[in-house]
Amino acid sequence: MKAWVIVLIVLTLVGMPLFAVMGGISILSWLGSDLPDQRFVRFIAANVLEDRFSNTPILATIPLFTFVGYLMAESKTPDRIVRAASAVLGWMPGGLAIVCTVASAFFATLTGGSGVTIVAIGGLLYPALRRQGYSEKFTLGLVTTAGAMGLLFFPSPLVMIYAFIAGVDVTRAYKATLPPGLLLMVLLCGYAFYEGKRSRIPRAKFDLKEAGSAIWHVKWELATPLLVALGLATGLMELDESAGAAVIYTLIVEVFVYKDLTLRKVVRVAKDAMMLSGAIILILAMATAMTNYIIQAGMPQAILEFFMERGMNAAWQFILVLNFFVFVLAMVMEPFGALLVAIPLLIPLAATFHINPFHLAVMFLLNLEIAYVTPPMGLNLFIASFRFSRPIIDVYRVVLPFVALLAVGLGLVIVAPSISSFTIAGDVAKARAQAAQDGTAPREAWLLECVQEDTNNLKPCSKEDIAKWGADGLGIAAKEAVKPKPTGDVIPAMDSTPDAGADAGAGADEMDALLKEMLGGGADAGAPDAEAPKAADPMDDLLKEMLEAGKDGG
């Protein structure tokens, strides 16, 4: 092992920032390359400065949505969300616990992290749940894990970053992650319903007036995701433009409508949001640079060969290894870092086994959330322990039933990949129909059907498409078109087609006529008396021999 690798490991363990770790690995890897012409620092900028990274709307969207989440977290938005959810759902068995689940998911979606959701929503609902009669064990476990599915909903920044790295459309990614997120929400809400019935928690009577009033007071926050979704659906705004509109809208609402924030406080909130966003973008840039070296060095292929030599030769085996790897990684890294480190490694391997890109996204994000609430290293466990002043061992015990539910949800997604992809089926069919109409390969459909190692060189996924278009997606006709032409003094082969033969026969007839004319002309010129016998001419004999030879050869 090289000395610099040991140094980087030590610096990482003592707390060196993740972007510095990735940047250091990239620089030292290129400088230590086995090829002399690659030992330059400039290679780390190859992917960072190209259009796919520098011109992506993600770079503007991440800080804008982060700012929106920070503005809502610092205002009284959590109180209004909880009141509205309680008024609408509080009459059900386990109503307040269901409110905690729904409100936590919504808030985690806006902020991009379940940790801050524990502090904001959990801090509000923990005492209310205890007062209503829920046990300490259930309440603490619920507020610790309720935001888990929020990272799958629009406009979660983690889905956004995954879509960028995987090269898929972010709008379709949100469409695909919605059903698995709803599945997890149903599982947790079902558990809350059961606990409410079992513990005989008193239910509030549904009050239509209170429900209308509560929804009216939260209408401005509810309009934020609707504004973004409508802008994207109608085509009036791109993703970054809709994020900018959301920021302006949220600023107006929180500062001038609700008046929860002063302009001075907005400046402080903006500073905190931009610090986090800047760190994310810097990590993203360094991860992109590191990916460049990883692919150049053939590391994914080496990893694949390592596992295949040990018997991994099927997609289900890869999925098991994938889930274990991501789970362990998420136990020791924060979400953005885990995403940016692991996805570049997993994309080439997933492409080998034709894994659906949206299935991969859901498995990855669910593993992240399960890892954050799983003992002993789950980050959210320590946040909950600190926020609610409970020993970490107590938190370990209470989250186990919720971890089991999340694991059931992940298991369902693993065994039924269509949960993650059925909402994209219409887009796939449309792409295939368009390709059939144009008479081209359905490359856009391939991008939606399986992970692509190189989005500039799309390859087929199914056996039918591979049989028709080849494993490289070029097709037989395309391969013939790109064959190199022979060079040098090469004599072209004779054409054996019927048309060519006819042309050759016509050419032979013309030669015969010419020779006959020459032969006849020679005879006339050499015979002043037509009746006199013609003298033998050697040239005539030679021409006759040539004529007979030509006929025999034809």
What is each CA distance from 554 to 190, 228, 504, in whole angstroms? 90, 79, 9
In this predicted structure, what is the pLDDT of residue 179? 92
CB of 126 closer than 8 Å to CB of 96? no
In this predicted structure, what is the pLDDT of residue 430? 92
Whether the per-residue pLDDT at 41 is higher than 90: the answer is no
In this predicted structure, what is the pLDDT of residue 521? 46
d(CA 48, CA 43): 10
- Choose among 161, 155, 157, 153: nearest CA to 179: 153
Whether the per-residue pLDDT at 546 is higher than 60: the answer is no
d(CA 211, CA 365): 34
d(CA 526, CA 405): 114
In this predicted structure, what is the pLDDT of residue 527? 41
Task: Look at 39-43, 196-200, 265-269, 339-343 and tell me which has the smallest mean pLDDT.
Answer: 39-43
CB of 188 closer than 8 Å to CB of 108? no
520 vs 67 pLDDT, higher one: 67
Q: What is the mean pLDDT of residues 199-207?
A: 81
CB of 41 closer than 8 Å to CB of 30? yes
Question: For every residue of 340-352, which 3-state class applies, written as one string?
Answer: HHHHHHHHHHHHH
In this predicted structure, what is the pLDDT of residue 540? 53
Q: What is the mean pLDDT of residues 102-126?
A: 74
Tokens, residue 38: 């690659």
d(CA 279, CA 157): 14
- Choose among 336, 251, 240: nearest CA to 74: 251
Question: For every residue of 5-74, which 3-state class applies, written as one string?
Answer: HHHHHHHHHCCCCHHHHHHHHHHHHHHCCCCHHHCCHHHHHCCCCCHHHHCCCHHHHHHHHHHHHHHHHH
Per mean pLDDT, which of 9-18, 211-220, 293-302, 531-540 is the most reliable? Answer: 211-220
Whether the per-residue pLDDT at 191 is higher than 90: the answer is yes
307 vs 98 pLDDT, higher one: 98
Whether the per-residue pLDDT at 547 is higher than 70: the answer is no
In this predicted structure, what is the pLDDT of residue 190? 92
d(CA 268, CA 248): 17
What b/e string do you get for 86-103 counting C-beta neighbours within 10 Å, with b at 16 or more?
A: bbbbbebbbbbbbbbbbb
Tokens, residue 326: 């991501």
267 vs 236 pLDDT, higher one: 267
Whether the per-residue pLDDT at 530 is higher than 70: the answer is no
In this predicted structure, what is the pLDDT of residue 554? 42
Domain ranges of the chain: 1-75+218-296, 424-481, 508-517+536-554
In this predicted structure, what is the pLDDT of residue 51? 56
d(CA 108, CA 369): 11
Per mean pLDDT, which of 312-321, 475-484, 531-540 is the most reliable? Answer: 312-321
CB of 18 closer than 8 Å to CB of 8? no
Mean pLDDT of the chain: 75
